[in-house]
Amino acid sequence: MTRQELFQNIIQKKSFLCVGLDPDIKKIPKFLLDFEDPIFEFNKRIIDATKDFCVSYKPNTAFYEALGEKGWESLRKTLEYIPKNIFTIADAKRGDIGNTSQLYAKAFFENLNADSLTIAPYMGEDSVKPFMYPGKFVIVLGLTSNPGAADFEMLYLQDGTQLFEKVLQKTCEWGTADNLMFVVGATRPQMLEKVRAIAPEHFLLIPGVGAQGGSLADVFKYGATSQAGLLINASRSIIYASTGNDFAEKAGEEAMKLQGEMEVLLRSKKLI
Amino acid sequence: MTRQELFQNIIQKKSFLCVGLDPDIKKIPKFLLDFEDPIFEFNKRIIDATKDFCVSYKPNTAFYEALGEKGWESLRKTLEYIPKNIFTIADAKRGDIGNTSQLYAKAFFENLNADSLTIAPYMGEDSVKPFMYPGKFVIVLGLTSNPGAADFEMLYLQDGTQLFEKVLQKTCEWGTADNLMFVVGATRPQMLEKVRAIAPEHFLLIPGVGAQGGSLADVFKYGATSQAGLLINASRSIIYASTGNDFAEKAGEEAMKLQGEMEVLLRSKKLI
């Protein structure tokens, strides 16, 4: 999917919502355990209930790897099930070099056919560039929403920039807004000004709205571009909106609520 | 496996060799493709041929993930096949936070029963600490052997330290030499002095000897401790020593050669 197509989907759905598909076998409703692949059954129902309100799905690979080869199969089936006009993010936070990166790229972009993959930048250029694939996006960790972001990401370098800014600057030399996005946490919306000074056009994947305390309005204020430029991720607040048999219905309601808030913001900026 | 047990194995085998199990389906001998699980068959023969000369095996997960659920099965079977007195490293370079880290830890430490897991430190404390598991080791990327290490890892911070030094310093506050190791590339052996100033006792996993140009003697000179403190990884130079039907035999010979060089070094420091 191209950046332009992603923007068109945002316009059409009046939403820049990304739903995190992080199904924990211990948390999903008990009746699903009778199915051959409970994780896939859970995802299928969540997707059916939310697909009209979101433009992206983001499975975090940890939830699938924890179940071994069976989990990997659930991940593959989930990615196959997602409608083709919805942008898929394999949230794998991978990072390796040379041949090895190419194998990860093959695993996620070819075999699983994900539109994008999250990448940890610590190892530098030769751990990021091999993931720049025709028609795919690399989503590099920039400034994350967790407390540990203060340990390294926010450190000041000798030239006065913070490490996450240097990561953005360097990475922007290796790719363009057409094959590169960044993860920036919603818990620090003012930091989005710093991000936009370096990456004015790139889409940003923003976790941490809601559960982790970030405000959607603030994120939009500091981060939105003329193409929206934002994918706001919500996981638990949607997929576990109810832990009962009505989980899919409630997930749909939560997604619709967020879509409604996003529609107001998009109108306020005259994007729709 | 405890640090003391690892050291005992080093003494007993007169080796601190780690063999990288990175089997590429395109590179393994053709006759193996007739087996139900060619990757496992390849690894099995490599393990049989090298197990007397090494103290550790390190499968890089990318090589298995590239084959989907089937690859994950090969990884699981490979880890099950490795003798229990050999230290296993899941080279996954994971990194995520909170609940998600716990799922990765479960995937690798419980389900696959690996002794250790490599971790990318970018996201800070809450992306490293959840991997500190009883009886297991976290192996944090410190200074890697690739050219891209210059992009971020080697940058100078405002307090005059380099980023990789800060990573070592901080991480040493979160764990001890009994549950924490570091990846330090052999291509920069002098840097090992800086590493040992911060982490005098920790085991270091050292890639980049041979193929990437680092010298074993230099690494030992600058990096060895009173418990050896080093695991030197060799992958391609061993597993692809021959691409013919004699690959296992040649792999054994290469591993024995490296073991011989390591025995000389261990004797020179009176560790054996």
The ipTM estimated for the assembled molecules is 0.95
Per-residue tokens: A178 = 């057409």
Contacts of B143 in chain A (CB under 8 A): none
> Which of B82, B92, B29 has the alpha carbon at shortest distance from B239?
B29
> B216-223 and B191-198 are packed helices; what angle lies between their axes, rounded to 10 degrees?
30
Q: Which of B103, B120, B158 has the CB atom closest to A122's CB atom? A: B120
| DSSP SS3 for B119 | strand
Q: Which of A103, A141, A151 has the CB atom closest to B66's CB atom? A: A103
Number of continuous H segments (helices) and E segments (strands) in chain B = 11, 8
Contacts of B139 in chain A (CB under 8 A): none
Q: Do A103 and B65 touch (CB under 8 A)?
A: yes
Q: Which of B126, B146, B163 has the CB atom closest to A152's CB atom? A: B163
Cα angle A157-A158-A164, degrees, rounded to a multiple of 5: 20
Task: Indicate which of B103, B131, B139, B170 best probes the interface with A, i.e. most A CBs within 10 Å of its own CB.
Answer: B103
pLDDT digits (tens, 9 = 90+) for B50-67: 999 999 999 999 999 999
Q: A206 and A186 in contact (C-beta within 8 Å)?
A: yes
**Residue B270: other Cβ atoms inside 10 A:** 7
Q: Do A151 and B157 touch (CB under 8 A)?
A: no
Per-residue tokens: A155 = 């450190």
Minimal Cα–Cα distance from B207 to chain A, Å? 12
Measured over the CA atoms of residue A233, residue A234, residue A235 and residue A238, the dihedral's sign is negative
pLDDT value for B212 = 62
Q: What residues 111-140 of chain B have any CB closer than 8 A to a CB of chain A?
A: 111-112, 120-128
Residue A194 is given by DSSP the state: H
Q: What residues 154-183 of chain A have any CB closer than 8 A to a CB of chain B?
A: 155-158, 163, 166-167, 170
The Cα–Cα gap between A28 and A38 comes to: 8
The answer to whether B141 faces chain A, any CB pair under 8 Å, is: yes
Per-residue tokens: B61 = 């997960």
Residue B209 is given by DSSP the state: B
Minimal Cα–Cα distance from B171 to chain A, Å? 10
Q: Do B157 and A156 touch (CB under 8 A)?
A: yes
| DSSP SS3 for A26 | coil
> Which of B86, B80, B1 has the alpha carbon at shortest distance from B43?
B80
Mean pLDDT of chain A: 95
Chain A residue closest to B100 (CA)? A62
Instruction: Please name every residue paired with A82 in a beta bridge, in sequence order, or none if there are none.
Output: none
Q: A232 and A216 in contact (C-beta within 8 Å)?
A: yes
Per-residue tokens: B149 = 């290490």
Instruction: Please name every residue paired with A19 in a beta bridge, in sequence order, or none if there are none.
Output: A57, A234
The Cα–Cα gap between A119 and A140 comes to: 5
pLDDT value for A113 = 95
> Which of A123, A205, A133, A207 has the alpha carbon at shortest distance from A170?
A123
pLDDT value for A214 = 72
Question: C-alpha distances in angstroms, A123 versus A62, A198, B18, B210?
Answer: 21, 21, 21, 20
The answer to whether B24 faces chain A, any CB pair under 8 Å, is: yes
Residues of chain A with pLDDT under 50: none
Q: Which of A68, A124, A147 has the CB atom closest to B111's CB atom? A: A68
The Cα–Cα gap between B250 and B254 comes to: 6
Contacts of B96 in chain A (CB under 8 A): 60, 62, 93
The Cα–Cα gap between B163 and B169 comes to: 10
The answer to whether B76 faces chain A, any CB pair under 8 Å, is: yes
Q: A100 and B62 in contact (C-beta within 8 Å)?
A: yes
Hey, what amino acid is at A125?
A: E
Q: What residues 209-248 of chain B have any CB closer than 8 A to a CB of chain A?
A: none
Q: Which of B97, B100, B167 has the CB atom closest to A152's CB atom? A: B167
Rg (CA), chain A: 18
Please give the model's pTM, rounded to 2 decimal places: 0.96
Q: A159 and A211 in contact (C-beta within 8 Å)?
A: no
Domains of chain B: 3-268 (3.20.20.70)
Q: Do B127 and A148 touch (CB under 8 A)?
A: yes
Q: A262 and A16 in contact (C-beta within 8 Å)?
A: yes
Task: Indicate which of B94, B123, B127 best probes the interface with A, i.e. most A CBs within 10 Å of its own CB.
Answer: B123
The Cα–Cα gap between B6 and B177 comes to: 12
Q: Which of A63, A76, A166 has the CB atom closest to B155's CB atom? A: A166
Cα-flanking dihedrals φ and ψ of residue B226, to 5°? -70, -10
CA contacts within 13 A on the Cβ side of A121: 28
Q: What residues 28-67 of chain B have any CB closer than 8 A to a CB of chain A?
A: 60, 62-63, 65-67
Alpha helices (H) along chain A: 3-13, 38-50, 62-65, 68-81, 98-105, 125-128, 163-174, 191-198, 216-223, 236-239, 247-268
Minimal Cα–Cα distance from A66 to chain B, Å? 4
| DSSP SS3 for B201 | coil
Q: Do B93 and A98 touch (CB under 8 A)?
A: no
Q: Tokens 């009778």 correspond to what residue?
A: A34
Q: Which residues of B are catalytic?
A: 93
Query: Mean pLDDT by 10-residue block, N- to C-terminus, for chain B (272 residues)?
Result: 97 98 95 97 98 98 94 97 98 92 92 97 96 94 95 97 98 98 89 95 91 82 96 96 96 97 97 94
Task: Indicate which of A22, A25, A103 best probes the interface with B, i.e. most B CBs within 10 Å of its own CB.
Answer: A103
